[in-house]
């Protein structure tokens, strides 16, 4: 044996074993951290703060359109002024366990002619090879409107239309594409989302609180809105209508029913011919849902999809990818600050009777 070669081979072998051992130790540490975490799912993104994830399947990939949380000099208040988001990023994944790719900033408030501040939760849609980003922002008068920006691919960048959608108001827009290629815009959010300031689609300010000027106890709660979109996807094709949320007896959910009434974060998906309308109950922090027979509703309350997360807000989306359903949501694992959040995902399961298994985001 060549002693020099043999000695070198021994050293190389030791180094490989050492490297392998170090890699195994690192993997063991990561596995242990995940196992010991009190959270059901790890953050998808950690290099920036993200929230309100709107997930879609475009071009065979998972694309996520979240809001982009930032540390703000704006003081915290009950109307959410400290949620002072200024731009949007788009993220994509080849598969649910794949790498999350940040496609960078795709739209900035400075590039939206009519907008002044607060780019809150967006959504996206595709039609005829064009991609549309729907977003809320406060105009020059600090009134929330809903705008739309257009791109040639799902990763953007997006170019904003010069004006907000005519007749739009409040926030949390989401677009549902039905099987007949009709597109529906849902929107609305109380408290900082300003839905309580409108009656019959007209701005009639009543105060700053979630139900100021509106009886709460035995009165019907404020409902989310729906309007079919125009063929060019840039306007509403009809006057917005209430999306009625009912209890099991067929009665509208009341304003004092904080565990079931609508607060914000509308989302619609369809499963086995049924329409599922899901939403955040806001100050009670559930993601609740109801089912109905058409996009306009009414939707009958069925229960909760997601129990409260760490943090004050709860906001989600639901998407099907390769025969499995997934729930995207956010919490504050990275910071424990309610305005600096991180997006997550977990598998969602429909039961045989059409109900959805409730997900517990924090381990007991």
319-341, pLDDT tens digit by residue? 999 999 999 999 999 999 999 99
What is the distance between the alpha carbons of residues 220 and 9, in angstroms, rounded to a whole number? 79
pLDDT at 3 over 60: no
* pLDDT single digits (tens) 249-305: 999 999 999 999 999 999 999 999 999 999 999 999 999 999 999 999 999 999 999
Q: What is the mean pLDDT of residues 115-120?
A: 97
Q: Which residues are marked as active site? A: 52, 264
Beta strands in 18-129 (DSSP E): 49-58, 61-69, 87-93, 100-108, 115-117, 123-127
Other beta carbons within 10 angstroms of residue 66's beta carbon come to 29
DSSP secondary structure of 109-135: GGG-TTEEE-----EEEEETTEEEEEE
The more confidently predicted of residues 31 and 332 is: 332
Cα–Cα distance for residue pair 61/117, rounded to 1 Å: 31
> What is the arithmetic mean of pLDDT over 182-187?
98
CA dihedral 19, 20, 21, 27 (to 10 degrees): 110
**Alpha carbon of 99 to those of 45, 269, 325: distances in Å?**
10, 25, 19
Residues 6+ apart with CB under 8 A from 216: 254, 255, 256
The more confidently predicted of residues 9 and 47 is: 47
| 200 neighbors 185 (Cβ within 8 angstroms) | no
The structure's pTM equals 0.90
Determine the Cα–Cα distance for residues 191 and 283; give it in Å rounded to an integer: 10
Q: So what's the pLDDT on residue 27?
A: 46
Residue 329 near residue 361 (C-beta atoms within 8 A):
yes
Asked whether 195 and 280 are in contact (CB, 8 A), the reply is no
Give the strand order in the sheet containing 264-271: 245-246, 299-306, 287-292, 274-280, 264-271
Residue 104: closest CA among 144, 147, 151: 151
**Three-state DSSP class for 22?**
helix
Q: What stretch of H or E contains 149? A: strand 144-151
CA distance 319 to 276: 12
Per the prediction, the chain carries an average pLDDT of 91
- Exposed e or buried b for every residue in 138-161, given b needs 16+ CB within 10 A? bbeeebbbbbbbbbebbbbbbebb
* Cα(176)–Cα(185) distance, integer angstroms: 7
């Amino acid at each position: 044996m060549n002693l020099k070669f043999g000695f070198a081979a021994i050293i190389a072998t030791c180094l490989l074993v050492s490297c392998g051992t170090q890699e195994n130790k690192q993997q063991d540490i990561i596995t242990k951290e995940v196992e010991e975490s009190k959270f059901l799912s790890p953050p998808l993104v950690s290099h920036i703060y993200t929230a309100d994830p709107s997930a879609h399947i475009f071009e065979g990939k998972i694309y996520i359109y979240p809001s982009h949380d930032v540390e703000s000099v704006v003081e915290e208040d009950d109307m959410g002024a400290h949620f002072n988001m200024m731009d949007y990023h788009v993220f994509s994944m080849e598969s649910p366990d794949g790498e999350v790719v940040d496609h960078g900033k795709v739209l900035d408030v400075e590039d939206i002619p009519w907008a002044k501040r607060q780019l809150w939760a967006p959504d996206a849609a595709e039609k005829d090879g064009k991609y549309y980003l729907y977003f809320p922002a406060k105009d020059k008068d600090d009134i929330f409107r809903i705008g739309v920006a257009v791109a040639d691919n799902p990763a953007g960048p997006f170019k904003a239309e010069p004006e907000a959608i005519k007749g739009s108001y409040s926030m949390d827009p989401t677009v549902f594409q039905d099987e007949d290629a009709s597109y529906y815009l849902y929107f609305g959010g109380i408290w900082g989302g300003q839905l309580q300031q409108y009656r019959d689609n007209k701005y009639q300010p009543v105060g700053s609180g979630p139900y100021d000027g509106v009886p709460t106890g035995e009165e019907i709660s404020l409902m989310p809105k729906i309007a079919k979109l125009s063929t060019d996807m840039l306007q509403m094709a009809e006057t917005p209508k209430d999306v009625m949320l009912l209890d099991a007896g067929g009665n509208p959910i009341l304003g004092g029913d904080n565990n079931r009434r609508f607060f914000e974060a509308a989302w619609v998906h369809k499963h086995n011919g049924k329409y599922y309308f899901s939403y955040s109950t806001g100050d009670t922090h559930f993601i609740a849902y109801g089912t109905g027979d058409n996009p306009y509703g009414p939707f009958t309350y069925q229960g909760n999809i997601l129990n409260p997360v760490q943090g004050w807000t709860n906001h989600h989306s639901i998407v099907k990818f390769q025969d499995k359903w997934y729930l995207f949501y956010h919490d504050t694992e990275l910071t424990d600050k309610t305005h600096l959040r991180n997006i997550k995902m977990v598998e969602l399961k429909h039961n045989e009777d059409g109900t959805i298994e409730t997900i517990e985001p924090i381990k007991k």
